[in-house]
Structure 1
């Protein structure tokens, strides 16, 4: 299997839980009318995400997580993440997605959407990540929650094709709960030839801020998914507690 193609597929899967860049303004308005789970505007009593966090504040929170867990990993900073995001569209160049309405997953400009965000990330393992993205306005996160709900309905199953290779993807909504205002969880199963890759993503939104844990591995059974979700919920709550300090 072409590694760049697989990376592109995983990148597309990340649209659901990270970027919130799936719809036009018109689509966002429609989702706002139909989605009862839209995140409320931050109030003066909001514990996390009243305003945008600085890169330094995000890095401090992640450093505390590493210390508390006895991990020696390094923090991937805003400066490190910027070139990775800028190169995201290149990974999807020439990829054809079907059905047609799901093509927005490949055409979405993730780098532009996150251009005003402050971000930091750590590797929890060789395959698992913890990412914090803090935006200038909570309305950006409102739109993300709405778009993710709509995309899950429209693109629960889709195919990607490039250079004669075809990858099938299926996205399922999972139950998860965190201390954030809104929690969304997804399992993405990507199949190419006989190779299957499962990724469970749990995303917690609070005001301006999104805390996401992504775990990749053999997570097809209910027990495996539940264990991954439980771990993600714990880690996310630890991050929210650090940001609240």
Structure 2
């Protein structure tokens, strides 16, 4: 049962990641920057981005994770785009067998899913049996911009929801986490999942810059504050590698 709970928690965290549901720690500063740029000579702030001006190749993402792994002394395996791609192609079918309530959460879970898969390159590093570091880069920043824009409304609709699959019902509650990274926008949340009286918690922190989303997901961290700090450091380390 513990193993299935871990899987359920990661699945629910994935639902939130796909819909970018979380706390936008830099929303107000970003709005101010946008207003200033509108009155300046520069038509768009995109050229000033250190990371994510254009889509990264699968090889570039894998190389960034490989460098961070070496620098941080990590031991987990890295899965490149070619390895993960076949599994991604079956994600939509998986959601066909899952009932998510309320319906707003179901819509968020599958919004633009095909487009996100088709227009992305990615790499994943396994941090532990259940924890991971994922880097996704899109053809352009439009998908990420849409995620950030809808973030606040998603948290209103999906702070509590249920997922039913294969006869098992999972109930979940999510809360925003105050987090900060070197990314343009940082989103973070904690999702508590309960099934038949057993509970597990997933901490997920994402850094967004231009075309790029860097996410650390951790299940049942013994030290939540320490885990959050480690996740933020990993995101910053990946950003630094991509900036080179």
Q: TM-score range by the shorter chain?
A: 0.7 to 0.9
C-alpha deviation, 1:149, in angstroms: 2.7
Residue-by-residue CA offset, 1:176-231 (whole Å, 9 max, x unaligned)? 00000000001111100122121100000011111110001156xxxx32222111
Distance 1:5 1:42, change over 3 A: farther
SS of residue matched to 2:46: coil
Match of 2:13 in 1: 13
Provide the C-alpha distance between the structure 1 equivalents of 2:4 and 2:198, rounded to a whole number of angstroms: 15
Provide the C-alpha distance between the structure 2 equivalents of 1:164 and 1:45, rounded to a whole number of angstroms: 50
Provide the C-alpha distance between the structure 2 equivalents of 1:98 and 1:16, rounded to a whole number of angstroms: 14
Q: Does the CA-based 8 Å contact 1:101-1:154 persist in structure 2?
A: yes
Match of 1:225 in 2: 224
Provide the C-alpha distance between the structure 2 equivalents of 1:199 and 1:155, rounded to a whole number of angstroms: 15
Q: Does 1:139 align with 2:142?
A: yes
Which stretch has the larger CA shift, 36-45 or 183-192?
36-45
C-alpha deviation, 1:141, in angstroms: 0.9
Alignment of 1:154-169 (within 5 A): 154-169=157-172
Alignment of 1:1-245 (within 5 A): 1=1, 7=7, 10-17=10-17, 19-20=18-19, 42-108=45-111, 110-218=113-221, 224-245=223-244
Where structure 2 has 5 or more consecutive residues not aligned to the other structure, the ranges are 22-26, 35-43
Provide the C-alpha distance between the structure 2 equivalents of 1:118 and 1:64, rounded to a whole number of angstroms: 18
What root-mean-square deviation, in Å, do the aligned CA atoms of Structure 1 and Structure 2 show? 2.5
Where structure 1 has 5 or more consecutive residues not aligned to the other structure, the ranges are 23-34
Residue-by-residue CA offset, 1:71-120 (whole Å, 9 max, x unaligned)? 33332000111112112223333322222322214544634422111100
Which stretch has the larger CA shift, 122-131 or 82-91?
82-91
C-alpha deviation, 1:67, in angstroms: 0.7
Provide the C-alpha distance between the structure 2 equivalents of 1:87 and 1:148, rounded to a whole number of angstroms: 26
Provide the C-alpha distance between the structure 1 equivalents of 2:7 and 2:129, rounded to a whole number of angstroms: 15
Q: Does the CA-based 8 Å contact 2:6-2:200 persist in structure 1?
A: no
The size of the alignment, in residue pairs, is 228
C-alpha deviation, 1:126, in angstroms: 1.5
C-alpha deviation, 1:137, in angstroms: 0.9
C-alpha deviation, 1:6, in angstroms: 6.5
Residue-by-residue CA offset, 1:152-191 (whole Å, 9 max, x unaligned)? 1111001122344211011111000000000000111110
Provide the C-alpha distance between the structure 2 equivalents of 1:241 and 1:218, rounded to a whole number of angstroms: 25
